[in-house]
Amino acid sequence: MTELLARNADCIVWLARYMERAENLARILGVAETFARDRAGRNWLAVVQINADEERFFARHRVADARTVPHFYILDPDNPNSILSSIKAARENARTLRPMISIEMWRQINRMNTWMGGLSDNAVAPANLAALCEEIKEACQLHVGITEGTFYRDQAHYFYHLGKSIERADQTTRLLDIKYHTLLPRPEDVGSALDISHWNALLKAVAGYQASRRVLAGKITPRSVAAFLLFSDSFPRSVILCVRQMDWLMTQLRTRYHLRGGVKALELLDGLRAALTDHDIDHVIDHGLHEFIDWVQSQLMAIFAEIQDSFCVTRQPSQSQSQ
């Protein structure tokens, strides 16, 4: 690893993670907003729970509802997991990386940071929340497009996509968990029009609605959607595809660029990939989907910890959701 990359590998990985996190948090809030139209406020509490933010949230708010939760996760500057905090942290990392990233990448992140900082409390009001989440997602997707079109393909590019894949896999499990476990419907609701509409909303939130229609042929069930998000070999946000991408990126860094380290991370990736490959959705659900998701998240954290140790990637102050 060159001296320049050794100093900045952490900034590259975290830039990718923060931008991916901001987009996925907007997706989670969009799903919660859709569910909240049909059920009580426990949907908003679920957002706090899946992000393990109960202590921090309830130190500031008495109840988790349609006003407090969106503000906490979008505009609260004191919440290190808010979208505002993530974009600010992404900008700080991008500023450090100015000699390595493209001018277009820097300008777009700068504009998004300015835009987020100028949002008022009214922007996250219930009537405006869905539109705001869409705007945030589109701004993050613009970053992805600019990065793909302008970021030089060297070691930094591999580290960027490594960070993005780790964050994406983690966030996909959180989106699945918010519907399948925390918001599990009553037995009489399973398969109802309301239940199916919620699964469709979840698929739309992960940009997987059209793809799932092609694959599932309209057979939307809890099992089929969970299988699609966990095990699909072709859906960009599926957990297995993210894990395989991580494995390929790590291998490239070690073979193409002869970087030392990462052996333990590759071993953990191999174990995670094997679990995702060897188990079908029936086995996972029979043994507990929530427990399986928790295990996947713990493995992702362990893998990232090994990457930190191997490639000088540090834990940044604004990072607290999944290490």
Q: Write out pLDDT tens, residues 140-165.
A: 999 999 999 999 999 999 999 999 99
- More confident call, 322 vs 200: 200
Give the model's confidence band at 22: pLDDT under 50 very low, under 70 low, under 90 confident, else very high: very high
* Percent of the chain topping pLDDT 90: 66
Picking from 3-12, 182-191, 287-296, which range would have the lowest pLDDT averaged per residue?
A: 182-191
- Per-residue model confidence (pLDDT) at position 246: 97
Over its C-alpha atoms, the chain yields an Rg (Å, rounded) of 19
Region 116-125: what's the mean pLDDT? 97
**pLDDT per residue as tens digits for the range 297-323:** 999 999 999 998 888 666 665 555 544
Q: For residues 59 and 78, is the Cβ–Cβ distance under 8 A?
A: no
Q: Which of 135, 132, 235, 171 is nearest to 16 (CA)?
A: 171
Whole-model pTM? 0.90
Residue 174's alpha-carbon distances to 22, 116, 296, in angstroms, are: 14, 24, 11
- Mean pLDDT (the chain) is 88
| End-to-end alpha carbon distance in the chain | 23
Q: How far apart are CA 172 and CA 168, in angstroms?
A: 6
- Per-residue model confidence (pLDDT) at position 233: 93
CB atoms within 10 A of CB 31: 25
Picking from 92-106, 243-257, 288-302, 306-320, which range would have the lowest pLDDT averaged per residue?
A: 306-320
- Per-residue model confidence (pLDDT) at position 33: 87
Question: At how many degrees (to 10) do helices 222-231 and 155-177 cross?
Answer: 170
Give the model's confidence band at 189: pLDDT under 50 very low, under 70 low, under 90 confident, else very high: low
- Per-residue model confidence (pLDDT) at position 238: 97
Q: How far apart are CA 82 and CA 70, in angstroms?
A: 9
Token readout for 113 is 């940071």
**pLDDT per residue as tens digits for the range 75-100:** 999 999 999 999 999 999 999 999 99
Q: How far apart are CA 235 and CA 240, in angstroms?
A: 9
CA angle 54, 33, 318 (to 5 degrees): 40
- Per-residue model confidence (pLDDT) at position 202: 83
Q: How far apart are CA 158 and CA 156, in angstroms?
A: 5
Q: Which of 202, 212, 164 is nearest to 29 (CA)?
A: 202
- Per-residue model confidence (pLDDT) at position 309: 86
